[in-house]
Structures are given as structure tokens and as C-alpha cells.
Amino acid sequence: MSTPADDDLSRVMKTRLEKLEALKARGVAPFAYSCDVTQFAAPSTAAFEAAEGSDEAAGGEVTGRWAGRMVGFRSHGRSAFADLEDRSGRIQVYFKRNVLGADAFSLLDLLDLGDWIGVEGSLFRTRMGQVTIQAGGFELLCKSLRPLPLGKVEVDDETGDRVTYSGFADREARYRQRYADLAVNPRVRDVFRARTLIVSAARRFLDDLGFVEVETPVLQPLYGGASARPFVTHHHALDRRLYLRIADELYLKRLIVGGLDRVYEISKDFRNEGIDRFHNPEFTMLEFYQAFADYEDMMEVVERLMVTLAEAAAGQPRIVYQGTGIDLAPPFARLSFVDALADRLGDDPLGLSRAELHARATALGTDSLDGAGKGKLMDKLFGELVQPSLVQPTFVIDHPRELSPLAKARRGAPELSERFELYVAGEELANAFSEMNDPIAQRARLEEQAALGAAGDDEAQVVDEDYIRALEYGLPPTGGVGVGIDRVVMMLTDQASIRDVILFPTLREEE
């Protein structure tokens, strides 16, 4: 059964289709092949105003061809104004009948908001003081057959704030129709431009340190490098099971074995897990590995990296995230995982039995505890009791050994591992190890993980015989880091949900 909104949309689209046929009947091609654009809204306006202010001219002579989407239109009989939006911003266009000619001017009646047009002309300033294109001619580049949600609405954001959006009050509709969301929300476009700046800055930072960017398999015969449930697929020609990677780690360390002593990858990883504000099944990771370094060295690299990314996105290391000021200037605080958890539990977590840890986690309402060992239970408790308080940048260091099977044991404390996680605004942004390079110890650690998997932990790691073979050839001392790009972008662009920084997030099936 159709709704009034559906009926209204059908009528509007029917009218636009009628205009399309009228344009064709007049010999106008409604879907152009190209347009030779020579000017953009913001820089051409700036050039005009700069020339206006010079001693050499009373006004700026700026001419050329602009192109963009028509997002506003006002008719005044023998003249009309339109708002043209391109990648740099908006600019007003003035159409005059006696300049364009009656036939061309009448074509304006067949245009709609959302149409893409090209305009040739020169800039002038109107009596109202607005820099405007005096159109000497225009052409239709693409006829919009479906109206964009251009009306302004106010909605409650996930944080509880009142936020103005252009037409999309339904957040899921905005994510599902990201093309329309981008078209009507300049702020959304700004977020994804900032994401590009952040990723580019990360590449430059690592390139300047002598790292080599590499590519490793997305389809893997064994998943590894993290504790997570994988996505499973089947290759028909090879008749074998394959997995979408959950991490790049084991392949990148194979490359260190091979003599590429500094490597990194910016990759898509996949984990078959729940969806919330900070988790999407498909996400972007930056992983980098440096030979002859340990986790202490990598802390210093991460501090410098975070400042670099903040400056790329915000111009400085001091930012505001969801109303809270964050200072990313080094040095970051350091906090012992075990000491912090002991302080909240009132007991040494390493001294508690698995049953006692399980009871504490259950009492807090923690889920996904089936088959969990002591390490995972401590991690769950840490997430509930300590993590939310880590607002300013904090390195949480020296995790329980069971929780970090790919990390070397802590010097002087073999029950712990040389590992750190970076927390900002209560969320983990990075994870790093002094990488395990003893193949005998690594096999034992992975066999412990396999036993946890057999006991019901579906996020336990598996034994990778080829990776152990690589370690047997010799992995030099290595420090490795994984950085969640999506979460970093969230923080640096002040976005409440990971879906606001992923162009096409994973959603439930559309009804």
C-alpha cells in the first residue's frame, strides 16, 4: 500500500520524466558526455574579490566555465537566479532573457533542483553585494529524475544534540543512500575529505621513515593475527575453504623475515562480529612493522604519528571530541593493564581463578564469555571497569600473556607480554607488540589458543604452520603496530558513529 509520501514522489518523478521528454523534443541532450570546466566557485570568488581590492582595477575580471549541481532557483520573470554547487562550495548564477535569448532562457522552465548544469560567463557583484556569475550561456549536463532531499530538518544526534540535516532525518536512510547524503550535506563531504587527508598523512609519515607500502592477501587459507571470528568462503576451482582476513599481521611479519625491514599496509579487514557505534564488519586498518625495534620504540612512533594525523585533519594536536577536549601532544600517559584492573577489582586479576573471573564478568552483564580463558575474561573486565575512564591519550601496557599470543613475554615478568594499546576518549585506537620471534614459543602459544577454540572460544587464534616455518628462518627483533583508521577519523572529525566515517557501512537488509 502506497503512502502519501510515495504518491508525492511518484508525481514529482512523473513531472520530471515529462520535462525530460520535452527537452529531447527540443533537441537538448539531457545527459552530456563532458564539460570543459575552467572555474570553481570558491577560488573564482576569491580571485574576483582580490582583484576588486587591488589598486589597478575597480572590479575583478573573472571569466570562464563553471559546472555543478543546481541547488536553488528563483525566477523573476525575465530574469532568474540559481545556486550552483561544486566541489569547492556554492556560487550564485544570474540568467537574463535579453542576454541568453528567448529560446535558451525558456529552457530554464525545464530544469529542476538537482540537475547538473554548465555555465559560461563572467563574475560581477549584485546590488545586494553577492558575487555572481552573469550567464552568457548554459548547458544541461545531467537531468535529475529523482528529487534530492534538500529541505532542512532538525534531528537528535546519537549524542543527544540537536543537529540540522538537509532532508535526511532517518540516519539509516542517510547511510543506505550515501550518494544522496553527500549531495545535500556539505558537512558529510567535509568528513570524507578529511579522511583522505588523514590517510595520505599516514602514508607520508611512514614513507619518510623508510617504510615500504605492501599488499598482502585478503583471501587467506588460514585467518590469524587477531582474536576474532572470520568470514568464511569457498573457492570452487581449488575446492577449498578460504577466509577473509581479520588482520594483516602474520603476512607482514613474513615480509620482515624476507628482508623488507620496514613495511606497512593500509587495508580492508573483515571480522564477523556485531555492529555498534565503534564496530563495522568491514573496516580499515593501518599496520606497520619495524625490524630491530620493540614496543617502547613503537610508542614513540605512534605518538608522532597521532600528532601528524591531527595536524592534517585539524591543524593542531588539540581537538574536541563529542564535547571533550583532547590533547594529543606527547608524551602520552602510561598505565599498567594489571595494576589498573586490580585497582578496580580490589584483587590481583592474575591471582584469580577462571571461575572467579567469569563470575565477576557475568555480574557486570558482559556477553560473549563462552569458552573464554582467563586472558579474555580479564580483557572483558578491563573494558567494563577501566576503559571508559581513559579519555586523554593513554598507553595501556603489559597485558596478560594469554591475552597476547603473538607478543614476546615482558622482560622480568613472564606472566605478562610486551604489548600496548592506545586509548583516546574511552576507545582503543592502536595495538602493538614486541613481536614474538621464537618459533618454539610461538607454536606453544598458538596451541594454547587452539585449545581455547576447541573449548568453545570462537575468537581464539589458530595454529598457522606456514607462519611458524617463516619464524624458523629467523624473524629479527621487531616492533609492530595496528591502528584503526576508522576510529582515528571518528575522533579527528568529531563523529559519534563509525558509520559516519565509512562511505558505505554494513546495514541490515532493506525492507
Give yes or no for a contact between 382 and 400, defined as CB atoms under 8 angstroms apart.
no
Average pLDDT over residues 372-395: 94
Residue type for position 231: F
Residue-level pLDDT at 165: 46
For 436, the grid coordinates are: 614474538
- Is the predicted pLDDT of residue 161 greater than 60, yes or no? no
Q: What is the pLDDT of residues 242-268, one digit of tens each?
A: 999 999 999 999 999 999 999 999 999
**Under the phi-then-psi rule, with left for phi > 0, alpha for psi from -120 to 50, and beta for the rest, what region is 312?**
alpha
Tens-place pLDDT, residues 195-211: 999 999 999 999 999 99
Q: What is the mean pLDDT of residues 401-406?
A: 92
CB atoms within 10 A of CB 322: 16
Torsion of CA 169, 173, 178, 180, to 10 degrees: -60
- Percent of the chain at pLDDT exceeding 70: 94
Nearest to 285 by CA among 492, 495, 488: 488
Whether omega before 393 lies within 30 degrees of 0, making that bond cis, reads no
- Rounded to whole angstroms, the Cα distance separating 89 from 467 reads 51
Q: How many CA atoms lie within 13 A of 162 on its CB side?
A: 3
Confidence of residue 164 (pLDDT cuts 50, 70, 90): very low
Report DSSP state, residue 74: E
Residue 314 phi/psi, 5-degree rounding, is -120, -5
If pLDDT is split at 50, 70 and 90, which confidence band does 367 have?
confident
Q: Name the pairing type of β-strands 419-424 and 427-434.
A: antiparallel
| Helix residue ranges per DSSP H, 364-484 | 374-385, 439-454, 465-473
Q: How many CB atoms lie within 10 A of CB 429?
A: 21
Rounded mean pLDDT of 18-38? Answer: 97
| Distance (Å, whole) CA 103 – CA 27 | 12
Q: What is the pLDDT of residues 435-494, one digit of tens each?
A: 999 999 999 999 998 998 888 888 889 999 999 999 999 999 999 999 999 999 999 999
Residue 383 cell numbers, joined: 573494558
Residue with grid cell 572483558, as numbered in its chain? 380
Whole-angstrom distance, CA of residue 426 vs CA of residue 116: 44
Q: pLDDT band for position 381 (50/70/90)?
A: very high
Neighbours of 29 (CB within 10 A): 12
Per-residue confidence at 38, pLDDT binned at 50, 70, 90? very high
> Going from the N-terminus, what domains does the chain have, and what CATH number goes with each?
4-142 (2.40.50.140), 152-184 (no CATH), 216-500 (3.30.930.10)
Q: Mean per-residue pLDDT for 350-371? A: 87
At 244, give phi and psi (nearest 5°). -75, 135
CA atoms of 237 and 271, how far apart (whole Å): 25
The pLDDT value recorded for residue 424 is 98
In whole angstroms, give the CA distance from residue 82 to residue 38: 19
Strand residues in 157-196 grouped as ranges (E): 162-166
Q: Which residue has the cell 581455547?
A: 452
* SS3 of residue 429 by DSSP: strand
Q: Which residue has the higher pLDDT, 285 or 510?
A: 285
Digit-coded pLDDT (tens) for 309-337:
999 999 999 999 999 999 999 999 999 99
Integer Cα distance of 284 and 306 in angstroms: 16
Please give the pLDDT value at position 423: 98
- The pLDDT mean for the chain works out to 93
pLDDT category of residue 159 using cuts at 50, 70 and 90: very low
Is the separation of the CB atoms in 252 and 214 below 8 Å? yes
Q: What is d(CA 19, CA 50) in angstroms, rounded to the nearest whole number? A: 41
Least confident of 22-26, 121-125, 230-234, 370-374: 370-374
Running DSSP on this structure, what letter comes out for residue 70?
E
At 2 the pLDDT is 60
With CA atoms as reference, report the closest residue to 415 among 474, 477, 337. Answer: 337
Query: Residue written as cell 596451541?
Result: 447
Which cell goes with 395? 598507553
